[in-house]
Chains A and B, each alone.
Chain A
Amino acid sequence: MKTPSVIKGLRLGQQIAIKYFFAAMILFCAQMIFGLIAGLQFILPEFLYQILDFNVTRMVHINAMIIWLLFGFMGSVYWLVEDEAGSDLVGYKLGNIGFWVLLIAVIVVVLVYLIVQVGPGTESSLWFINEGREYIEAPRWADIGIVAVMLIFFYNIAATFSKGKWSGISGVLVLDLLALAGVYLAGMFYSTNISIDQFWWWWVVHLWVEATWEVLVACIMAWGLIQTIGASRKIVTTWLYVEVALMFGSGILGLGHHYFWIGTPEYWLTVGGFFSALEPIPLVAMLVHAVYDAGTKNLKVSNHPAFAWFIAHVFGNFLGAGVWGFFQTLPQINLYTHGTQWSASHGHLAFFGAYVTINVAMFYMAVQKLRGNIAMGSGLLNKYRWKTSLILLNVGALGMTVALLIAGYEQAFIERAVGGSTWSGYFSAQRDSTFIASMHWRMLFGILMTVGTFFLAWDLLTIGKKNKNPVFETT
């Protein structure tokens, strides 16, 4: 076999991955700062009123998240592709160009969000300022750019596997990337009709976060388990297929839980209620799988922070996406909770538990090799840094979720059940002392998370720099 091309100890794809991870971490910090501002605006509505209004701060908050998670995923795939394919990356230059194009596009989009903010009611506003559709606000020109970069990315990954060898993990991964890019197209058109608009909008949002992203992280997790604890490839691959069957088996029609109230026919109440109630099952399977594998290996792992974050991922995914989603997925309950802080509570823990965690785990995988394949176990210096950030981020996310859940309960009760779902009902709920207290608690936990994020950035920049012990073999 040909010797792999290596630059400064990293393979070609891994060089690109480091760039993606670096940009992702900066955007993660930005997400936190804008989250804090938006959270503060709930408590002090005058804060930055008419300067950076809530619709701008919140948009930057959620867009920074979507983009940094995507950056993290793309980086993760670039990171593992050559090891998994047993071959050099096909398009190193192309991958680099893709990265820079995407990064510049993101910077321009964010600057326009912050400076121009809103435009007149014309098609050109949607093309050049923002599309005004939650999560996929990026203007249409940027959509086209994203698709072009995704095509480059897809070609690079698929061609590298074709040149090298295919495996169960890579097969699932490539098909999933194709689906991930494909469903994005469903969000790239305009309709006057809000029911049609939201119908297709959910194809992107749901089929990304509750189907294709979940399968993508399952692939990363499968690879991660082999790497960190030397799990058997055969067992990991079989589990991956089980998870795909369960994930797509429940998640594709689980889309129906977004079709309860948008004008869509009543049969979605049954279809959506039933299949989305099944959605936690694959997450339980993932949890059992990872904990079982970890147990069989007596937790002898070469990278403690990465493994801790992998474990945080399986618990977070199960709790945030699974349990918190299940709470309100049945239509009888959802009628009261949909569009209240319940959704915010679920959203925060699900995105954190399912996707932030696994990206952070991959950052630690990458940084280990970047610093010369050092052992990141018990002999690691300054362990308090990664442990502090792990605790702050997880406690912060959980605390914020509980605070928002209490606010959601209160809202469902005062605004919906008692207040007749009117504007005055809405504001009665927002004025209630429980709601206001919840918003303060959310703020406190948000600050903890932000401090945790900066700790994480500091740790990633410094971890292992003074360690000289090489990693021990796990397989």
Chain B
Amino acid sequence: MNKEVKWMSESLWKKIAIWVTSLMLLILVALTFDTVSQITEGTSRVPDYSVINNKIFYEYDKKRDILAPVIGELSPLFGKELDKSEAKELVNLGKLTIQAKNCMNCHTILGNGAYYAPDLTKAWLDKGWGSESVRETLMLSFLLDPETNARSFGTNRKMPNLGMSEEEARGVIAYLKWMSSIDTNGFPAHFESIEQDKESK
């Protein structure tokens, strides 16, 4: 192995390393521009925050062979229709609260986070809330006093009381409703949503 092998020369691999890295970076930057434009709120993949004024369905899309969100008729959160900026303000309060209360170190959000508590991606559409008519009230009372209203399904794992104000809890619920409308390419797998009133679509 003393003889220099041409394809194992230092200078050749130095050039390859530089070219490969530059090319990959360039592709990543190009894809980033495209992706960011497709996931900015108000697009078909990530709807505007005012979607919290509408019903959100989760249905099988035959063409794509996945479950995908569908936005239905008017169904304002807490019975009050909000304009675009009010909706954004409420959802933003929810996001700030979710970060400040460190939700992601127990729950997963879009599948990322910790695995001590359930995924929140489609929490708004979860069957556990029973029916659409009581969902908002149940969510609100749960967030304000999670210890008393524990939903641990026999595991003894309870959400701690994080000292959320009612306004913050409403923000979190708005946030979860908005997040359920994001097109996640079918994640989580085989999601079975809450009973949906198909008539009102």
Contacts and interface: CB of A to CB of B under 8 A. Distances in A.
A190 to B, nearest CB: 8
Interface stretch (B22-30, B71-79, B131-139): B22-30
A298 to B, nearest CB: 16
B187 interface: yes
Nearest to B5: A238
Interface residues of B, number: 88
Contact of A125 (B32, B34, B96): B96
Interface in A179-205: 190, 192-199, 201
Q: Among B34, B106, B168, which residue has the most Cβ atoms of chain A within 10 A?
A: B106
A118 B163 contact: yes
A122 B96 contact: yes
B187 A261 contact: yes
Contacts of B38: 264-265
Contact of B21 (A121, A245, A417, A430): A245
Contacts of A129: 100
Given A252-B28, A420-B191, A194 B109 contact: yes
A271 interface: yes
B160 A132 contact: no
Contact of B95 (A53, A54, A192, A259): A192
Given A54-B114, A120-B168, A241-B14, A249 B21 contact: yes
Contacts of B165: 120
Interface in B108-128: 108-116, 118-119, 121-123, 126-128
B106 A58 contact: yes
B154 A427 contact: yes
A252 B26 CA distance: 10
Interface string A108-133: 00000000011111110110011111
Contacts of B184: 261-263
A427 B155 contact: yes
Given A119-B100, A121-B96, A248-B21, A426 B189 contact: no
A194 B157 contact: no
Given A58-B114, A339-B112, A121 B25 contact: no
Contacts of A263: 39, 45-46, 110, 182-184
Given A41-B116, A123-B96, A427-B154, A416 B35 contact: no
B91 interface: yes
8 contacts: A53-B106, A118-B101, A118-B162, A130-B99, A263-B45, A422-B192, A427-B152, A430-B153
Interface of B: 8-10, 13-14, 16-17, 20-21, 24-25, 27-28, 31-32, 34-36, 38-41, 45-46, 49, 88, 91-106, 108-116, 118-119, 121-123, 126-128, 147, 151-158, 160-165, 168, 171, 179, 182-192
